[in-house]
Structure 1
Amino acid sequence: MPGGRKRPALIAGFSPFARSLIFLSAAAAAAASSGPSKPLPLPDDASTSKAAGTPREDNMPRPPSKRAKRAEPSSDEERSSGESEEESFSASESDGDDEGEQSSEELETVQADFAFFDPKPSDFHGVRLLLKTYLDSKPWDLTGFVDLILEQTTVGTVVKLADDEEEEGEGEGAGGNNTDDDLFGLISVLNLGRYAEQRCIKDLKDYLLSVCSDKDTKKQLKYLLEEKASSVGLLVCRRFVNFPYELVPKLYDALFDEVSWATEDEPTKELRDSFRFKHYLLVVRILERKTPAKHKAKHNKDDDEPVIYPKLEDEIFHELSSWSFTFPIRSEQSAQQEMKNYKEMGLVMAVKSEAIPKFRKKLEALLSE
C-alpha cells in the first residue's frame, strides 16, 4: 500500500488489534429508537424484480440468484453482533494481560454458514441498526434512508446466517417471527439523482457540504451532488464485527455484478440508465493519529500508523479515489488506552467507475495474502 501504511493481520476474520479499533455499539441507542414508518414510495416505474432472475437475451452465463448462493462455513470467535465495524472502540485489547491469561477453552468457536439475500421490509430494524451512526449524531431522515435501501431489491444485498431465512419464513407462516436483528451486513448503491427529492438524500447532501471545509474540494463535491447527481451512486456497505472478511470480495462482486445486470435487465430505459454510474461516493470512518509519531517503538509499530482503516477495503478505495476529505466525528467515544493517540474521523471519497475493476482485483489480492 502507498504511504507505507500497514494493515492488521487477518485472523479469524478480524485481528485482535483491529477489533480494538471498532467504534462503540449502536445497539443500545437503536433499542430506544422508534419503529419503522410507512415506507417511502419509489418512482412509479421502479422495479422490484430480481435482475438475476430475469431471462437474458445473450448467452452469457449468470450465477444463481442470491437466495441460492451460500458462502462456505466460517469459523469465528463468538461475540455480540451489536458492534459495527465502524461503530465501536469497545474491544479486546483493553483487557491487556487478563485476556492473554484466558485459556483456549474459554474462547468458544462457532461455525457459521452465511448467505446473501435480497433486502426486504422485515430487515428494517437490522439495517437501521447498522446505519444508526452513518451521519454521526446528526438528526436526519434515517428511516427514509433505510426504506430506500430495502425497496431497491434489484441492486443490494443483506447477509444473514443461511438458516435464518428459512426459519423466518416458517415463523411468518406460524404467526410471524421476525429475525431481522440477526442481519450481519448490507451493501447497496443509491442513485443520488433518482432519489434527489427524498428528504433523506437532501439531508445527506446538506450534511456532507456542511462538513467539507476545503473550498476547492467542496466545489467538486457540490458538482457531483447537484449537476452530476444522476450519474453518482452512493455506495453504502456496513457490517458487524463478526462478519467474516473472506466474504467481503464476494459481497462487492455481488453488488457490482448486479449494477451491471441492472443496466440491461431493468424494464425501462430510465431505470437502466439510473445504474450507469460514472462516480461512486462513499462515506466511511477511519482512525487518524492525533500527532505525528516522533519515535517509533520497535515493540509496537501499530501505534505509529498515521491512518487506520477499520474496513480494510476503504484503504483501497482511498488509494483509487479522485478526491477525498476528512472531517471530525462529534460523537466520538472514549478510546481505549492503547488507542489514546488516535481520533475518529469521517472520510468522504469519490471513486470513478472505471476504477472499480482495479478495486475488485486489489481487494481479492489483499484478502488472499
Structure 2
Amino acid sequence: MAKRKVDDERMKEPESAESSSEESSSEDDTNMLDVEFEWFDPQPDHDFHGLKTLLRQLFDVDAQSSDLSALTDLILAQPLLGSTVKVEGNETDPYAFLTVLNLHEHKDKPVIQQLTNYIQAQSKRNTDISQLDALLNKSSDARVGLVLTERLINIPSEVVPPMYNMLLEEISWAIEEKEPYDFTHYMIFSKTYREVASALGEEDAPKQKKQKNVGKKGSSETFYFHPEDEVLQRHAAAFGSFDYLKEAVGSDSKRTFQELGVKPEGHIILIEAAKFEGAVKALQEYFNQT
C-alpha cells in the first residue's frame, strides 16, 4: 500500500483567559492562537503509550474489559492504515487517532475475541443494536470493520473529516492490492452521556432557581462527546447507546452543568459499506458549514 503524505492544517484555538486579561479590558474579548495540526500514519516506535491512553479514554470504565496493550499493538501493526493527529512533530504523542480493524481477519486473536464478546453482550441489552449479535457471530459471512477513534477533550472536531477521508483513500488502496479491507459493514465504537442528578449534599450543591427533571438514572436525552456521531448515524443501519458493564462512579467529577453530573455510556453506529462514503461526505459538508 502506498504511503500517504503528511497533511496539515492551521486552526484557531482560544487562548487562556489568564493570558488575555492583561491585553484586553473587555471580559468578552478572547485572543486566539494558531495551532498547526499534522496528520501522520501510526508510528510503532512512538505512539504506543499515546494510543493506549486514548483507547482507555474511549472505553471509559469498561477499559479493563479488553487488553488495551494488545489492541494498541494491533493498531500499530497496520501503520499504513489510519491516522494520528499531532501538533509538535511525528515523534510526539498523538492528540487524536482513527483506525479500522478487520474483526473477521483477526477473529482468532484474544483481544478481538474479548471485544467481540463485549459488543455482542451489549447488543443483547439494547434492542436498537440487537442485530450486531448475529452480525458478529462466527458463522456470519459479514466482514465488519471496527472503527476506533478518540481525541483529547480540547481538540476541535474539525480534525475528524480529514481522518475519515484519508481512511477511505487508504482502504481503496488496500483493496486494490488485495489486502483484507473489503468490508460489508463499518461499526464505529464511540461514547455518549446523559445528565444525572448531582450526588452532592444540599450544603455543597449550588443554589438553583429551577431544578431540571433529571433522576439518578439520568435524563432521556442523549448528548455526544463526538459531535460527528450525530451526522454518521443518519446513514446508519443501526445505532444505540448502552450502559457500561462496570458501574460508573464519580459523575460529579464529570459535570457539564453546575447542577448536574454526567453519566457516560458506550455508543455504537453500524453503517453498511455501500453507505459509508456518503456518510463521510456528509461529515465533511457538516463541518464546512459550522
TM over 0.5: yes
- The one-letter amino acid of 1:155's match is L
User: Which of structures 1 and 2 has the larger relative contact order (alpha carbons within 8 angstroms, sep 6+)?
Assistant: 1
1:212 equivalenced with 2:123 (yes/no): yes
For the structure 1 residues 323 and 143, does the alpha-carbon distance in structure 2 shift closer, same or farther, using more than 3 Å as the test?
Answer: same
For the structure 1 residues 103 and 305, does the alpha-carbon distance in structure 2 shift closer, same or farther, using more than 3 Å as the test?
Answer: farther
1:346 equivalenced with 2:266 (yes/no): yes
- In structure 2, the partner of 1:356 is 276
1:331 equivalenced with 2:248 (yes/no): yes
Query: What is the deviation of 1:215?
Result: 7.7
- In structure 1, the partner of 2:159 is 247
- In structure 2, the partner of 1:280 is 186
Within 5 Å, which residues of 2 pair with 1:272-311? Answer: 272=179, 274-288=180-194, 306-311=221-226
Structure 1 contact 283–347 (Cα < 8 Å) conserved: yes
1:66 equivalenced with 2:66 (yes/no): no
Long gaps (5+) in structure 1:
1-50, 54-64, 80-91, 93-100, 169-178, 292-299
- The one-letter amino acid of 2:157's match is Y
- The structure carrying a bigger strand percent of its residues is 2
For the structure 1 residues 212 and 102, does the alpha-carbon distance in structure 2 shift closer, same or farther, using more than 3 Å as the test?
Answer: farther
Long gaps (5+) in structure 2:
18-24, 198-211, 213-218
Structure 1 contact 158–186 (Cα < 8 Å) conserved: yes
- The one-letter amino acid of 2:170's match is E
For the structure 1 residues 367 and 218, does the alpha-carbon distance in structure 2 shift closer, same or farther, using more than 3 Å as the test?
Answer: closer
1:52 equivalenced with 2:2 (yes/no): yes
Q: CA-to-partner distance for each residue in 1:47-95, whole Å, 9 max, x for gaps?
A: xxxx234xxxxxxxxxxx233x222x1111357xxxxxxxxxxxx9xxx
Percentage identity across paired residues of the two chains: 27
- In structure 1, the partner of 2:205 is none
For the structure 1 residues 325 and 70, does the alpha-carbon distance in structure 2 shift closer, same or farther, using more than 3 Å as the test?
Answer: closer
Q: Aligned residues, how many? A: 254
Query: What is the deviation of 1:211?
Result: 2.5
Query: What is the deviation of 1:188?
Result: 0.3
- The one-letter amino acid of 1:120's match is Q
- The one-letter amino acid of 1:310's match is F
- In structure 2, the partner of 1:258 is 170
Cα distance in structure 2, aligned partners of 1:262 and 1:112: 32
**Root-mean-square deviation (Å):** 3.0
- In structure 1, the partner of 2:13 is 76
Q: Structure 1 length normalisation: TM-score?
A: 0.61
Q: Structure 2 length normalisation: TM-score?
A: 0.77
Within 5 Å, which residues of 2 pair with 1:157-172? Answer: 157-161=83-87, 163-165=88-90, 168=91
- In structure 1, the partner of 2:73 is 147
- Which of the residues 32, 44, 56 maps onto 1:109? 32
1:232 equivalenced with 2:144 (yes/no): yes
Structure 1 contact 286–347 (Cα < 8 Å) conserved: yes
Query: What is the deviation of 1:355?
Result: 1.3
Structure 2 contact 58–150 (Cα < 8 Å) conserved: no
Structure 1 contact 149–190 (Cα < 8 Å) conserved: yes
- In structure 2, the partner of 1:191 is 102
- The one-letter amino acid of 2:112's match is I
Q: CA-to-partner distance for each residue in 1:308-327, whole Å, 9 max, x for gaps?
A: 22211111222222123321
- The structure carrying a bigger helix percent of its residues is 1
